[in-house]
A = this chain, B = another copy of it.
Amino acid sequence: MSPRTEQQFSEIREQRKATIMQAGLELFAQYSIETTSISMIAKRAGISKGLIYNYFDNKEALIVAIVTQGFEEFIRMIPETNGQPLTKEQLIHYLNTTFDVLTTDFQYWKLYFSIVMQPAVMKLIEDQLMAIMMPVVMLMADYYEIQGVANPMAHARMLGAILDGISLNYMIDPENFPLNEIKDILIQKFL
């Protein structure tokens, strides 16, 4: 029997890595980072504990990998403006995209949100988070500056906080939280 080709090995690795990350995502969201053990993840992924360490250096690296993956999807939604400030239409479009993703990939983002919200995770990804959030906040600050408000930065950070709060409440209670009505109110009163 000839040994597997490099490509075969690579496919196995990609596959397994994804399985582990998915299992981790679900459990970290359900039980928190600290109360989810590597054993639990291995069991859910249907593999041995030891194998996880074949793919991730340690628990922390697994967490960071999961969260980073989510960040990358998030970044993909940020509008490209070539340094120009956002128009009102563009900002509305961005908000719509964000809210749409929230509802269509609900399960994923719920898991994702409950991981990122955990203080222990925050510490791990603080730097990444800041690096991603700052450009978004700046984009919004530029927008409010054009609008001529007195303190554009405060407006930008408030808009960020509002989006966080809305997402959080929607995640906790998706059945009753009136997401669309609230989006309209937000656009009307705050853009």
Contacts and interface: CB of A to CB of B under 8 A. Distances in A.
Interface of A is mostly: helix
Interface stretch (A10-18, A86-94, A156-164): A156-164
A55 to B, nearest CB: 15
Interface stretch (A30-38, A62-70, A72-80, A97-105): A30-38
A47 interface: no
A174 to B, nearest CB: 13
Interface of A: 29-35, 113-114, 117-122, 151, 153-155, 157-158, 160-166, 168-169, 172, 177-178, 181-182, 185-186, 189-190
Given A117-B119, A161-B182, 5 more contacts: A34-B35, A35-B120, A117-B168, A158-B166, A160-B165
